[in-house]
Amino acid sequence: MNYIFELNAFEQWVETHYLPISSQILWYKLMSICNKAGWSEWVTVGNQRLMAALQMSREATLIKVRDELIRAGLIEYKRGKKGCPNKYRMISFTLKIEGKIEVKTGAKTKVKNEKIYKQNELKEKDANASKKKFTPPTLKEVEAYCKERENTINPVQFIDFYDSKGWMIGKSEMKDWKAAVRTWERNQKSTSGQLSQRTKNKFNDFPQREYSEAEFLELERRLLKK
């Protein structure tokens, strides 16, 4: 095998084919092992060695990653026995291009990619469908929510207000009427507090003065004359 050619060919291949990153890394590790082994047709590699190279703690994860390479037609695999590790054979891109081997995985990969694309498309449609169009609440719903919140908002006034605005907040369509109720609730408390403060200040500002005993006697004398 031409090591550099295989690496470049693989990079071009992954541009148009789906392959998880972890499986791509495993392919590179196996290629490196094959290179060090002098490009033997089959190389023997234990799971523990590959798990250490990929920094994986679970063997099941390695098997899943390896299966992706097998399904993509990039490697062949022979299960080992006790005392004899698994064997791997790299499928050369050079042989594929020169037509020296029959590659049946291309069509499978294409079908798989199409399935992945359709799955992503369906997920996107589901995500858009989950964004339901806003539906104005009924009077009973607002009454029940205000009762739950124990506020003093008038549900009829709330609905009439937003009905007149087409259930818009500024230039945007309302998304959550309950959030609007809570906003009214906070504004109501704020306004109530301001009115209370102004009333208190009004009485505090009332002019007061101290009257002497002579002034009280004079006032009493005038009242008796009347």
* Per-residue pLDDT tens over the stretch 159-180: 999 999 899 888 888 889 999 9
- Mean pLDDT in residue range 140-144: 93
Residue 143: pLDDT band with limits 50, 70, 90? very high
Boundaries of every domain in the chain: 3-104, 139-204
pLDDT band at 145 (very low <50, low <70, confident <90, very high): very high
What's the gap between Cα 224 and its chain centre? Answer: 85
Judge contact between 176 and 217, C-beta under 8 A.
no
| Of residues 176 and 3, more confidently modeled | 176
C-alpha triplet 90, 94, 97: angle, nearest 5°: 120
* Res 117 pLDDT > 80: no
183, HSE (Cβ side, Cα atoms, 13 Å): 8
Q: Per residue in 93-102, pLDDT tens?
A: 876 655 444 3
CB–CB of 162/194 below 8 Å?
no
State the average pLDDT over residues 9-18.
Answer: 90
Sequence-ordered strand ranges (E) for the chain: 43-45, 75-78, 86-90, 168-169, 172-173
Among the listed residues 165, 193, 188, the one whose alpha carbon sits nearest the alpha carbon of residue 177 = 165
State the pTM of this model. Answer: 0.42
Distance between CA atoms of residues 93 and 162, nearest Å: 66
State which CATH number among 3.30.1370.110, 1.10.10.10, 3.40.50.10320, 3.40.50.1820 fits the domain covering 3-104.
1.10.10.10
Span 113-135, average pLDDT: 65
pLDDT the model gives residue 63: 92
Q: Are 51 and 57 in contact (CB under 8 A)?
A: yes
Q: What is the pLDDT of residue 130?
A: 52
The percentage of residues in the chain with a pLDDT greater than 70, rounded to a whole number, is 67
Calculate mean pLDDT across residues 39-52: 89
CB atoms < 10 A from the CB of 7, how many? 14
